[in-house]
Structures are given as C-alpha cells and as structure tokens.
Amino acid sequence: MAISKHFTSKKLSALLIFMFAANGSLFDAQAEQTSVMPLHYVADKAISSNPEVQQAWHAFKASMYGIDAARSGYLPTVDVSASTGYEKRNYGIESDYSRNTAELSLGQMLYDGFRTSNTVKRFESIQLIRYFELLDQAEKTALAASIAYLDVQKFTELVELAENNLKEHESVYQQIEQSVGAGVARAADLEQISGRLSLAQSNVMTEYANLHDVSARYLRIIGELPVQGTVKAQLSDDAIPISINQALDIAYKNSPNFYASLYNIEAQKANADSQKSAFQPNVDLSARYGFQDRDELGLNESRSEARIGIDVRYNLYNGGLDSANLDQAYQEVNVAKYQRDQTCVDIRQNLQVAYNNVQVLQNKIPSLAKHKESSSKVKYAYKDQFDIGQRTLLDVLDAENESFQSNRAYTAALYDRQSAILSMLAEMGKLLETLNVKSDKFPLLSELTDDPIALNADSICPKFDVAATIGRQAFLQKKKQQDNAYMTVTAMPNYLTIPVTPPANTFVDDDNDGIANETDECPSTPAFTEVDEKGCTKYRSNTSSVEIGIPFLADSSVVRPEYMQEIARLADFLKQHPNKNVEIQGHASLEGSVQYNRKLSEKRAFSVAEILIQQYGISPNRVSSLGYGVDQPRINEISVRANAANRRIEAVITESGSQSTAMQSGWS
C-alpha cells in the first residue's frame, strides 16, 4: 500500500511519526509541558523551515510519483498517429497529390517475467527509504536545534559567571589600589591584581565570543535569534534506559536510519528480481486500426485496416547484457547489506558514547557540586582572613579563580548532560517523541505499507557493553570495599570477601538456611526463607512473594554466576505454572542519594527480569521489573544491618490478568 502523493508543505510543520506502538510514554503529559516545552518549540520551528528537512520532504514526495510510474506497466498504452502532406513524383498516373493517413493502436502487457511487479516493489521500498530518511533528518534537526538552545543558555550563564568574577576582581583591585595609595600594601600586590584583572576581563570576552558563536548556530538552525530570558529546559531521567542493552534494543526498533538501510536491501532485492525478467518471454495484447485516402500507387482510393492479436517476444541473445545486469544487481544487494551493517555499528558506537556520557556526567555532577560549594566557602573565608592579615593576596586570588572555575565546570556539566541525553534519544529514534513534536496529518508507517519489516535485532546487530570491559570498575574498587560491608551480616556469606576453609567435621552454614556450605547450591538464601535439600528457595503453588538472595557488588547490576541458581528455580516455577506472572522488585538501603538508589534498584531488577526472559525463555509479557529505591525499607534506619535488610530483590507472583497496567509496563 502506498500513500497518496497529494500532500502540502504545511503538513511539515511538525514531524514526529510514531513508527511503532510505544511500550510506554517517556514523560507524563504534565512533565512534557513544563520541562521540554522550550525544546519542543525550537525543534518544531527548525523542522518546519530547515532546508535539509525540506529537501528530504520533497525527496519523499518524489518517491510517490516513482511508484505511480512503475505501476503504469500494468495499464494499457493507447497511441494515435496521423499525417497529411503533399507529394510529387515523376511516375504513376498522378504526378502530384495530397495524402492523409491515420492510425489508432492499443497495447496491453500480459506477461513480462514479473518485471513490472518487481519494479513496483522496488519503488515502494524506495518510498519507505525516503520516508525513514525524512524521519532521520527530522531527528537530527531536532537534536541540533535542542542542543543549540541549551548551548545558548549555557553560555549565557557562563557569561554571567565571568562577569561576576570580573566584578570580584575589580573590587579587590580597588581595595589594593587604595591600600597602595595609603602606603599599607606593596606595589607588587597592585601588579599582581592587575594581571589577574586582565585575565578576568579576557575570560568575559571569551565567554561572549562563545555565546556569539552558539547564537549564530542557533540562528542558522532555527531561523531566528534566541530570546533572552527563555524558559530553562529540563529533561527527566525517566528518559534514560536502565541499561545500554535496553537502549540498543530501543534503537534497533526505532532508529529511522537503521530502517532506511533495511528497506534499501529490499529495494535492491526487488531490482535483482526485475532483472531476471530479461530471461523470460514478453507477451502483449495488441490492436490497431488505420485509415488512408490513397493507396501505395497514389490512386485516390480510401483504405482502412484493423488488427488484434497477441505478440510474443523472447530474446535469445543480446551480447550478455542481461547476465551482466543481473550480476550487477546481486552485487548491489551485497552493497546494501554491508551498508546496513555499517549503520548498525555506527548506531552502536554513537549510542554507547552518548549513554556513557550521560552516566559519567551524572556521577561527576555531585563531585562538581561539592567542589563548587567548598570553593565558594574557601573564597569567602580567605577574603575574611586577608582582611585581618592571615592570608596573602595570592591566596585570595587563587581562591577566587578556583571558585570561578568550579562554578563554570558545574554549570557546563549540567548542560552537557542534557545534551548527552538528547544525543542518546536521537540515536534511539525517540527524540521527537520525547519532545512531543508530532502531526496527526503526516503519514504513519501503516499508511505506507501493510507489511513492515519484522527484524531480529539480536542477529542483525549484536549488543556489547563497552563500559563493562574497560577499567572503570577498577576505579570504583575503593568505593566497593566500603559499600560491601553489609555482606558480612545476616544472609551474606562471609566467603564473598575472604575465602574460609572450615575445620574438618565442622558444620558451616553462612546463610543460616540449615544446609551446609559444601552442599548449598544457593549460598545466599535470605533468612527465614523456606529452602529445599539443596539450599534453594522452595516454591509452592500458592507462593505470592519471595526474596531472591543475590548480593550485588557496589555500583553494579550484574548477577554473578554463583547466584544464577535462584533465578533458575524461579524460572522453573513459572514454567510449571504458565498462569503465573512475576514482577521483579528492586529495593535499596536508605544510605546515599535517593535518585541514585532508585536507578540502581531499577537496573538490578531489570537484570534479573532480563535473565528470566533471555536465558530461561520466560515470555516477556509475563515478566515485569520495577525499582522502588528507598520507598519500601524493611528497617527505617541507616546501619550495617539495616542496609543489608533493605538491599534486596523480591519476586511478587500473581495470577495472569491480575497485574496492574503499571506493573506490566515496567518491562519496556
């Protein structure tokens, strides 16, 4: 099915196309209106006027006419020819006369080796390529516009910081100048503050130059100058996937660039099939009727002639042209496949970088905030101490500069993280949806084709977590040693940190489940959990809630191999009871950032749910995951024992159909 070509450019004012039904909204309606409203405006404004988007739009419209041209092969051809003229000769009865002829002919293709049908398929695929290229360009333009907006706001704030820093230096300069004039301070101090004052002035000019450049970029992309005092944009962390693998899954299912590469393969396959028609006969129905007022001898005798019949043409040899065309078409299919592979690895790299930038900046921001706060306190303390002669001028100037640089780094990090989130969403094909840029009048994918491509992203684009293979975890080793103190208490086996060899004939049961360590296949079963003879959780048909004993390492959501047995037992229970669903719930201790603990509990719950689905074959619609963070502590305090009790994974089991919508949407 192809869409009608009668579109107007007014329908391009906004370009969000929901290519597939979303599993859940990234933002609720109220959050969208308050947090992404300015980004919605600049993205919509840029898309409606950006030349590259307009170019992609008209390329899409042109592809519609290509389908019409290909379909003309199914329809008959009707031709009429007529002539009139004066003729003169030196033979025959009449030496000069006027002659008139006319002919009407009709042709209808009956069989052409499926050339026409495959050509139509090719142009339908080309239309879908142009469609996804249009969406991809819209995503890129929205990204560029949004980042330009954030950059203008960022450098506006940095200009303000630089100007405040300059005012501080001017104030100190005036104080030193008065002191030198009074003979209290040394002339060298005045030279020193003069140099620092010049540097502060240079910083202001640098920030103004940066603001000028990003404003010029804003004007180029959006088509208007930025307005001062605009609303700050704030993207919700709900837009961030729980893991890089989930982000890659979303990208392969939604990326317009990736789907354009897939339909390019289909177009080249259809072209190869159309080239095969050269090895088939062509069968056409033909009919014609002709009239002339003189015969071949020039005699004034009217004649008419009519014919209808079937014409068959079969080429036997044309110098190898058809074979060469077919071989070339097959190679074009291979080219398209490698282009798809290149698109795959580009998405994987760009998304890995953007996702990691979001995480790294999130981890840096608390440290930068602390540095900013400490630098500000030091600055004011040094000023007070300088006034009473306990600090040198150099100390004061260094503290002032460090405070300025810490404020600048913190402000830049906040905006850079927003830009990284936007880049991540664009790579996933979710930016326009997040910014709520859409138009119901613009065609949906279902209007263009009745048979969209169903892909297996795992086989086409393997997923790799780069961050898990580099040395970032080593950097967190010290933090891990501190955070893992809870593993030494109830339900946490001692040998996680120090291997212990029990004395002979001594019964050792680290998790207190009544099963000795040497025969315990589930070495971290929580206390008071009913276990079987192997030390693993015992499930009954009426089991409704079970805590799964999985001690995670600090800042990690990876389930280690020695704790997979508990997940396997849960999977066996679900397979034996196909009418049961499960929600994996993650909980965290009260220690640390509330937001960080919520995200970490989500990641850990998601990891367990992902194992149930991918490794043990439990249907995704039976498994959901949700991170509660610090919302449901067992012990409402911060201590080693409370932390151990509150850091947990629970499996809540329900009958099919009894889960709430919110639960079912947890797996997305």
Task: Give me the sign of the Cα torsion angle 348, 349, 350, 351.
Answer: positive
Q: Is residue 274 part of a domain?
A: no
Q: Is residue 4 part of a domain?
A: no
Structure tokens at 548: 């799964």
Per-residue model confidence (pLDDT) at position 114: 93
CATH of the domain at 300: 2.20.200.10
Strands (DSSP E) contained in 341-446 are none
For 197, which DSSP code?
A: H
Rounded to an integer, what distance in angstroms lies between the CA atom of residue 2 and that of residue 66? 11
Burial class (CB within 10 angstroms; exposed 0-12, middle 13-18, buried 19+) of 95: exposed
Q: Please check whether residues 111 and 132 belong to one and the same domain.
A: no
Helix (H, G, I), strand (E, B) or coil at 504: coil
Q: Is residue 30 part of a domain?
A: yes
Structure tokens at 629: 């963070």
Q: Is the pLDDT of residue 321 over 80?
A: yes
Q: Please check whether residues 577 and 658 belong to one and the same domain.
A: yes
Rounded to an integer, what distance in angstroms lies between the CA atom of residue 589 and that of residue 489? 14
Q: Which amino acid is at 225?
A: L
What confidence tier does 485 reach under pLDDT thresholds 50, 70, 90?
Answer: very low
Rounded to an integer, what distance in angstroms lies between the CA atom of residue 285 and that of residue 75? 12
Closest CA to 45 of 153, 146, 178: 146
Q: Is residue 3 part of a domain?
A: no
Question: Which of 466, 496, 516 delimits the end of a domain?
Answer: 466
CB atoms within 10 A of CB 53: 20
Rounded to an integer, what distance in angstroms lies between the CA atom of residue 649 and that of residue 667? 16
Q: Which residues of 360-378 are buried (b: 16+ CB within 10 A; e: fewer)?
A: bbbebbeebeebbeebeeb
For 634, which DSSP code?
A: S
Q: Is the pLDDT of residue 430 over 60?
A: yes
Helix (H, G, I), strand (E, B) or coil at 277: helix
Ranking 227-236, 292-301, 419-428 by mean pLDDT, the lowest is 227-236
- Calculate the dihedral angle through the C-alpha atoms of 437, 441, 444, 447, rounding to the nearest 10 degrees: 180
Rounded to an integer, what distance in angstroms lies between the CA atom of residue 374 and that of residue 368? 10
- Contact predicate 633/597, CB 8 Å: no
Closest CA to 397 of 621, 197, 132: 197
- Contact predicate 529/546, CB 8 Å: yes
Question: Which of 427, 443, 466 delimits the end of a domain?
Answer: 466
Q: Is the pLDDT of residue 104 over 70?
A: yes
Instruction: Count Cα neighbours of 301 within 13 Å in the Cβ-side half-sphere.
Output: 7
Instruction: Count Cα neighbours of 455 within 13 Å in the Cβ-side half-sphere.
Output: 25
Rounded to an integer, what distance in angstroms lies between the CA atom of residue 640 and that of residue 292? 109
Q: How far is CA 27 from the centre of its chain?
A: 15
Q: Stretch 340-344: mean pLDDT, rounded?
A: 90
What confidence tier does 65 reach under pLDDT thresholds 50, 70, 90?
Answer: very high
pLDDT in tens, 241-284: 888 888 888 888 888 999 999 999 999 999 999 999 999 999 99
- Contact predicate 215/153, CB 8 Å: no
Full DSSP string of 281-330: -EEEEEEEEEEESS-TT--S--EEEEEEEEEEE----STTHHHHHHHHHH
Q: Is residue 386 part of a domain?
A: yes
Q: Is the pLDDT of residue 628 over 80?
A: yes
Question: Which of 289, 322, 355 delimits the end of a domain?
Answer: 322
- Calculate the dihedral angle through the C-alpha atoms of 170, 172, 174, 180, rounding to the nearest 10 degrees: -140
Q: Please check whether residues 137 and 103 belong to one and the same domain.
A: no
Structure tokens at 35: 């947090």
Ranking 59-73, 510-524, 605-619 by mean pLDDT, the lowest is 510-524
Q: Stretch 416-429: mean pLDDT, rounded?
A: 92
* Secondary structure element (H or E) that encloses residue 378, with its range: helix 321-387
Helix (H, G, I), strand (E, B) or coil at 404: helix
Question: How many distinct helices (H) and strands (E) make up the chain?
Answer: 18, 8
What confidence tier does 12 reach under pLDDT thresholds 50, 70, 90?
Answer: very low
Q: Please check whether residues 447 and 338 belong to one and the same domain.
A: yes
Q: Which residue has the higher pLDDT, 369 or 184?
A: 369
- The angle, 0 to 180 degrees and rounded to 10, between the axes of the packed helices 321-387 and 244-254 is 140
Structure tokens at 89: 């000769």
Helix (H, G, I), strand (E, B) or coil at 445: helix
Q: Which residues contact 221 (CB under 8 A, 6 or more apart)?
A: 46, 50, 141, 144, 145, 148
Rounded to an integer, what distance in angstroms lies between the CA atom of residue 252 and that of residue 235? 23
CB atoms within 10 A of CB 599: 21
Q: Please check whether residues 134 and 241 belong to one and the same domain.
A: yes
Q: Is residue 218 part of a domain?
A: yes
Q: Which residues contact 648 (CB under 8 A, 6 or more apart)?
A: 526, 547, 587, 634
Separation in Å, CA 439 to CA 17, 22, 208, 382, 443: 7, 16, 38, 58, 9
Q: Please check whether residues 462 and 578 belong to one and the same domain.
A: no
Q: Is residue 481 part of a domain?
A: yes
Rounded to an integer, what distance in angstroms lies between the CA atom of residue 536 and that of residue 386? 67
Separation in Å, CA 414 to CA 232, 233, 234, 604: 12, 11, 10, 26
* Secondary structure element (H or E) that encloses residue 652, with its range: strand 648-655
Which residue range is the domain that position 563 belongs to? 473-664
Q: Which residues contact 617 (CB under 8 A, 6 or more apart)?
A: 571, 575
Q: Is the pLDDT of residue 422 over 90?
A: yes
Overall number of domains in the chain: 3
CATH of the domain at 233: 1.20.1600.10
Q: Please check whether residues 298 and 415 belong to one and the same domain.
A: no
Q: Which residues of 232-250 are buried (b: 16+ CB within 10 A; e: fewer)?
A: ebebeeebbbbbbbbbbbb
Q: Please check whether residues 440 and 501 belong to one and the same domain.
A: no
Segment of 57-71, 553-567, 617-631, 654-668 carrying the highest mean pLDDT: 57-71
Q: Is the pLDDT of residue 563 over 60?
A: yes
Rounded to an integer, what distance in angstroms lies between the CA atom of residue 668 and that of residue 250? 9
- Contact predicate 230/38, CB 8 Å: yes
pLDDT in tens, 495-510: 333 344 444 455 565 6
pLDDT in tens, 288-307: 999 998 877 777 788 889 99
Q: Give Rg (Cα) of the chain.
A: 37
For 563, which DSSP code?
A: G
- Contact predicate 204/408, CB 8 Å: no
Q: Please check whether residues 179 and 93 belong to one and the same domain.
A: no
Please, which residues bridge with residue 584 across strands?
625, 651
Q: Is the pLDDT of residue 610 over 50?
A: yes
Q: Please check whether residues 552 and 500 belong to one and the same domain.
A: yes
Q: Please check whether residues 252 and 343 belong to one and the same domain.
A: yes
Q: Please check whether residues 27 and 88 belong to one and the same domain.
A: no
Rounded to an integer, what distance in angstroms lies between the CA atom of residue 391 and that of residue 381? 10
Q: Is residue 275 part of a domain?
A: no
